[in-house]
Amino acid sequence: MSNLWGAVALLPLALSVAMPASPNRSQARSMVVSRHGIVATSQTLASQAGAQVLARGGSAMDAAIAANAVLGVVEPMSNGIGGDLFALYWEKKTGKLYGINASGWSPAGLTPDYIKTKNSWRMPQDGIDSVTVPGCVAGWEALQRKFGRLRWTDVFQPAIHFAREGFPVTEIIAEHWELSQSVLRADENARPLFLPGDKAPRTGEIFRNPDLARAYLEIARNPRSFYTGGIGKAIVALSQKLSGTLAAADLAEFEPEWVTPVSTTYRGWTVYELPPNGQGIAALTMLNLMERFPLDTLDPLSADALHIKIEAQKLAYADLVRYVADPRFAKVPVAGMLSKDYAAERARLIDRRKASDTAAPGKPPEIGTDTIYLAAVDREGNIASLIQSLYVSFGSGVLVPGYGFHLQNRGALFELDPDHPNVVAPRKRPFHTIIPAFAENGDRKIGFGIMGGFNQAQAHAQFISSIVDGQMNLQAALEAPRFTKLTFGGSDVMIEGRVRPDIRVELTERGHRLDVLGDFNGWMGGGQAVMHDAAAGVNFGASSPRKDGAAVPEPAPYFSPRARR
């Protein structure tokens, strides 16, 4: 007996030798690390579909489109073919970063006078008059034609499968579905399809959308069907039935635009966003302001660091809402907004001890909530950074009958003030919130994005600061506690409860009015990131726990005939 107790007494020592204690860390998950490709999305079935496309020899863009199509099935309130798309693609062999703006324009008949004839003095937030031309499918086609390796029809097979056969609804998506029941009940076409048994599907319940499978089959045969074929005709017929202005020519004449990304530097890194009409420029101007302060010497979650970032957000967003619009219609001072001298001038407005109540837009010099984001990297190191959305949950609330998808309500972001650069006008693209991003430092290339309406640009800046100033890895940077401010002006700010109580007290003493939310709150936006390290020949992936998703690696070819030999 004494020998037994002696062995038990020695057990802790033996375990400490056999299993060394791992160091404490703040992140909950580890990064995905692979010599092959990785796909990171907000739902695991979509990530898996993208990884399988990579294993079939597809490029990062093939995988991204396949994953996006699946997300339109499994996360229908957040994205789908009725919405818009923006993407960045880094091509390793050329070292070139490409950008595409596939945001749709307003109907030719949508004017301020038209809105006012409907007794409305603000842009409709839902319904047919909030609908702009969906750019997603045209964006997919242009991207796959330029960067794809597989047949166009192949990339839609996973989405068609899940739409036909069904899938079990995941946790966070089920919550969003339940919160959207009033929108779905208001549409006679959406109610029977998206509220089976007159209720939102619960976690684990199987949901099928055979109408959407039909739409994907048409698109797989001919992507122009969405604009001029059966789907396009159904959209126009619906618009006419609802007395909207969307006409056949608005769809048929739309084309996405290849654009040159805009960028800034931040302590040795170069960070890229797409140019206006999106809000990506606000992430860059916010970083320019933050660079004026010694954030690299501060704890990234200290009161000093958080205060500087919050105040930088206020100044960057004041310029955002004042100047950003469709550059084909308005003169957007992009170069001036990105000027380092302008940032130095604006940074002087930040009081390091006191929160500001107001933040007015500056005068840049004249120099010559419901969204999905996904990132994919293939084994060669090509990176797709892609974001797609309906805007609010289930978009306009208008479902295209027979095809199982909702139309976006991006027109809600237009202004009616005739002096504002974002005033509604025929064939104009509205101000856009969704933004993909890319960053590089030497051999390290990162595709990243964080969802959530006006949260996105400020979340991008915080993510980069976590990587650069906080020296965090991809997963830790996505998980790190964040703040978000979704109002313009005032000292209110939302912050996650993982920020220490003493830090929150100090921020309150500086004048910030904190709304303390849950530890991993959805207002902060879920995100994804992939990184290619060219020197090591290794890829990394990460996915935020604020969503249902994961980063999934491409399976290695261990079952191939070559491996069996």
Express each pLDDT in 233-292 by its tens digit. 999 999 999 999 999 999 999 999 999 999 999 999 999 999 999 999 999 999 999 999
User: Helix, strand, or coil here: 561?
Assistant: helix
| Cβ burial 212-228 (10 Å sphere, 16+ → b, else e) | bbbbbebbbeebbbbbe
Residue 313 main-chain phi, psi, to 5 deg: -60, -45
CA atoms within 13 A on the CB side of 523: 16
Which pLDDT does position 559 carry in this prediction? 81
DSSP state of 130: G
What are the tokens at 471? Answer: 């020296």
Q: What is the mean pLDDT of the chain?
A: 92
User: Helix, strand, or coil here: 132?
Assistant: coil
- How far is CA 96 from each of CA 261, 282, 430, 461, 487, rounded to the nearest angstrom? 11, 23, 28, 23, 36
Quote the CA–CA distance of 437 and 89 in Å, as a whole number.
10
Q: Torsion angle of alpha carbons 349, 354, 357, 362, nearest 10°?
A: 10
Which pLDDT does position 21 carry in this prediction? 54
DSSP state of 138: H
Closest listed residue to residue 467, CA positions, set 496, 504, 438: 438
Quote the CA–CA distance of 103 and 276 in Å, as a whole number.
11
Radius of gyration of the chain (CA): 24
Burial class of 449 by CB neighbour count within 10 A (0 to 12, 13 to 18, 19+): buried
Q: Torsion angle of alpha carbons 414, 487, 461, 38, nearest 10°?
A: -70
- DSSP characters for 444-498? EEEEEEE-STTHHHHHHHHHHHHHHTS---HHHHHHS--EE--SSSSSEEEEETT
- pLDDT < 70 regions, the chain: 1-23, 365-369, 560-565
Q: Torsion angle of alpha carbons 112, 115, 119, 123, nearest 10°?
A: -90
Which pLDDT does position 17 carry in this prediction? 47
DSSP state of 198: G
- CATH architecture of structural domain 259-370+434-556: 4-Layer Sandwich (3.60)
List, by residue number, the catalytic residues. 371
Closest listed residue to residue 403, CA positions, set 36, 4, 134: 134
DSSP state of 400: E
The Cβ of residue 444 has, within 10 Å, a number of other Cβ atoms equal to 16
Which pLDDT does position 118 carry in this prediction? 84
What are the tokens at 405? Answer: 């998808």
Closest listed residue to residue 330, CA positions, set 203, 458, 464, 423: 423
Residue 112 main-chain phi, psi, to 5 deg: -55, -40
The residue written with tokens 């991809």 in the block is 474
Quote the CA–CA distance of 33 and 31 in Å, as a whole number.
6
Q: Where are the domains of the chain?
A: 45-83+94-254+384-413, 259-370+434-556
What are the tokens at 409? Answer: 């309500």
User: Helix, strand, or coil here: 10?
Assistant: helix
Quote the CA–CA distance of 115 and 498 in Å, as a whole number.
45
Structure pTM? 0.93
Which pLDDT does position 359 carry in this prediction? 79
Which pLDDT does position 563 carry in this prediction? 47
CB 266 within 8 A of CB 427: no
